[in-house]
Structure 1
Amino acid sequence: MTFLKHVFVSVALLLTFAMSFANAEDKPINIPSGPFGTGSNALGSALEQISKKTDAKVKLVASETPGLVYNLKQLNADPETKSETLTPFTAGLAYLAENGQKPFAGPIPAPMLVATYNLGTVWLVTLDETIKEPKDLIGKTIGLGRPPQILWTIEPELIIKHGWGLDGKIDIEYLGTKQAAQALLDGTVDAAIIGGYADPINKAFKASPQTLTVIGSGKTLYHIPWGKEAIEKTIATGVGLGQITIPKDAVAGLNSDMSGFFDPIAWGAYPEMPEETAYQITKMIIDNVGLFQEYHALGKLMSSKSLIYGVDPKKIHPGALRAYKEAGLL
C-alpha cells in the first residue's frame, strides 16, 4: 500500500506540473497599450489581432492605460507581471526611468527592446497668427496630453524648460491628446500639442488621430517650431531624443521644413520574460510586419528594417535578438 501511495503521489505531482506548464504556455501576454487615440493603442490592438489570426505560438491581449509612464510604474510595483507583459516604451522614457528623473521618484529598470514600431514626433500649433515663436507663448495657455504621457507631455515640457528656458512662464494644461486638440478648436487654449509618427526608412509621416481632427477643422493653422538649438540643449541633458525634420506640407499650414525631435516608440520586455516567449513574439512581428497596415494607417510606417532602427544590440531582449539574427536583420 505504501508503494502504491508513493506512486499515486508521484503521478499526481507530475500531472499537476504538466497542467501548470500547459496553463503557462496558454496564458496570453498582456500589452498595456496606452490611451485611446494614440499610436501605441492602435498598434497594440493590431498586434493582438495579428496574434489571434496567424499561427503564432503566443497570443497577446491589449488594454487601454493612462500612458507609457504609468505602465512602467505599474510593472515595477508588481514585478511578478513582468514575465507576461509586452509594454510600449520609448528611448526617452527609458533614460528618465533608469536615472530616476521626473516623473519617476527614483531609478527603476527600463524594458529591453523587442521591436520599434514608429518614431514619434510632436510640436505645438496655434490658430493665432501673432504667435510665431516661443517667446510669444509667455503668459499664454497651451494644452498638452495627460501627465503620464512621455511623448505628448513630458518631453515637450523638457524642451520648454531646458531648450526654451520658459519653465513657469507658460500656463500648461494637462488635458489629454484628444481634449487638447478640441480645446484649441474651442478657443480655450492658445496652442495645443499635435504631431504624428515617422518611418525612418522611407521618410514618410502620418498625422495622429487628434492631429487629423485639428487639420479637418479647416481652420488656418500656425505651427510653432521647437528650434534646432532648443532640441540640442534638451538632448544635452541626457534625454534620449533625436533630431528630425518635419517635411513641408506634412500637415496643413506647414509651408516649409520644420526642425523637430523624435523619440523611438517600441514594444519592450523585461529580462523576466522567458527568452522563448520574446523570441516567438518577435518572430511573429517580423513575419507579419506587412499586416499592420491592414489594421491601422500607422502600420504603413513599419518595415522589418525599421524594427531595430538605430538600436544598440545590447539593449535588445535576448529572445528578440535571436529572432533578428535568424531573420538576417542583424
Structure 2
Amino acid sequence: MKVLRTIGVLAAGLGLLGAWGTTAQAETRVTLKSAKSASSYYQMAAQFAEATKTGTKGDIIVTVEESQGSVQNVMEASVRPGNYMFTSPPALVASAQAGTGPFKGRPTDKFADVRALFPIPSLTMHFVARADRGINSFADLEGKTVLLGKGSFGAKEGEKYLELFGLNDKVKLASAELSNAVSALKNGQIDAFVTAGSWPAPNVIEAAAGMDVKVLSLSDDQIAKTGRDLAVIPAGTYSGQTDDIHTSSLSVIAYATTAMDDDTAYALTKTYWGQKAKMGQDAQWWKGVTPEMLANIKGKIHPGALRYYAEAGFPVRDDQK
C-alpha cells in the first residue's frame, strides 16, 4: 500500500509538471523595443503590452524595453533573435536596408528581414497660434515671434519648414524651451509655437482650453514639399476647432522580423486592432490610427499580419506583400 501511495504521489507530481510545461510552452514572449521611458511612445508600448495580455488571455506576454531612439531600435533588429518587435519611422528602416545614413557601412542582409506589423500614432506637426494675431496660414507667420524649442523632432522639423517655405529670416525665434510655450502664448510673449506628437497633443489641449488659438492647416502642396505624410486632425479635437486640420506627420510603425513566426505576428496584429478602441478610451492618441494608415508603410508587411489584413479587408498594396 505504501508503494502504491508513493507511485500515486509521483504520478500526480509528474502530471502537474506536465501541465505546467504545457502552459509554459503555450505562453509566447515578445520583446518590444520602444523609446525613452519618459516619452509618450513608451507609454503607448506599455498600453499595447497590457492590451496584448488581456486580448490573448495571457497567451502572449510583451516585455517593453526602453530605448534611446529609433536608430537603436532598427540597429538591434539585425542581432536580436526570435520575437523581437520595435517601433520606427518607415524611412529609417529603408535607410538600414539600403545601408545609408546612420547605417552606412553596415551589412544590410539582416535588415532585409524586417517586416511591418501595424501603424501606431504618428508624430504630427502642430502650428499653434494666438487667434487674435491674424495668423490663418503658414505665410501669416511672417513678422511674428515663434517658439520652436530645441533639439526635438518638432523643433528640427519646424526649422526645416520655415526654410522650405521662405520664412527662415522673416520670423523671430523665441529662445525658450517648449515646456514654456503655453504660458508664453497666453502672456503674449510669443505669437505661435510649434510642437510635434501624437494627437491630441497635451500642450495644445492646454493652450486651447485657456485661450482662443488657431491650429494651422498646411496645403496639399506644402505637405508634399515636406516629404512627410498627411495627417488629418478631426474637427472638435481641440477646444474651438470647427474644421479638420490638415498637417504633416512622421509615420511610426511597429515592426518585427522574419524570425517571428506567422502565428505570433497574426495574433499580435489581430489583438492590436481588436483592442485599439479600448486603448482609445484610456488614451485618445489611439483614435488617430486608422486602417488607411497602412498606406504609409514602405516595404514589406509580415505574412502573419497580412493574413489578418486579408481577413479584415484592410487596404494593402501589392508591393507591401
Fold shared per TM-score above 0.5: yes
1:287-311 Cα deviation digits (max 9, x unpaired): 43443234322334456xx276325
What is the alpha-carbon distance in structure 2 between the residues aligned to residue 25 and residue 157 of structure 1? Answer: 47
Shift of 1:196: 6.4
Pairing 1:1-330 to 2, within 5 Å after superposition:
27-33=29-35, 36=38, 38=40, 40-54=41-55, 55-63=57-65, 65=67, 70-76=69-75, 79-81=78-80, 83-91=82-90, 93-94=92-93, 104=102, 106=104, 109=111, 111-127=114-130, 129=133, 131=135, 133-134=138-139, 136-137=141-142, 140-144=145-149, 146-147=151-152, 149=153, 152-162=154-164, 164-167=165-168, 171=173, 175=177, 180-181=181-182, 184-185=185-186, 190-194=191-195, 207-216=200-209, 218-235=210-227, 241-254=228-241, 256-302=243-289, 306=291, 309-310=294-295, 315-327=300-312, 329=314
Which residue in 2 is equivalent to 1:203? none
Residues 153 and 88 (structure 1), Cα distance of their counterparts in 2 relative to 1, 3 Å cut: farther
Root-mean-square deviation over aligned CA pairs: 4.2
Of residues 114-123 and 178-187 in structure 1, the stretch that sits farther from structure 2 once superposed is 178-187
Match of 1:6 in 2: none
Q: Assess if the C-alpha contact under 8 Å between 2:185 and 2:191 holds in 1.
A: yes
The number of residues matched between the two structures is 284
Looking at structure 1, the residues matched to 155 and 255 of structure 2 have their Cα atoms a distance apart, in angstroms, of 21
- SS of the aligned residue for 1:251 comes to coil
What is the CA–CA distance in structure 1 between the aligned matches of 2:78 and 2:96, rounded to whole Å?
A: 15
The gaps in structure 1 that reach 5 residues or longer are: 1-18, 198-205, 236-240
Equivalent position of 2:7 in the other structure: none
Counterpart of 1:5 in structure 2 is none
SS of alignment partner, residue 212 of structure 2: coil
Instruction: Please tell me whether Structure 1 or Structure 2 has the larger radius of gyration of its CA atoms.
Output: 2
Q: Which residue of 1 aligns with 2:17?
A: none
Partners of 1:118 and 1:190 lie apart in 2 by 28
Q: Give, in angstroms, the shift of residue 157 of structure 1.
A: 4.1
Q: Give the TM-score normalised by the residue count of structure 2.
A: 0.66
Q: Percent sequence identity over matched residues? A: 19
Secondary structure of 1:81's counterpart equals coil
* Alignment deviations for residues 234-257 of structure 1 (CA, whole Å, 9 cap, x no partner): 23xxxxx33355555543454555
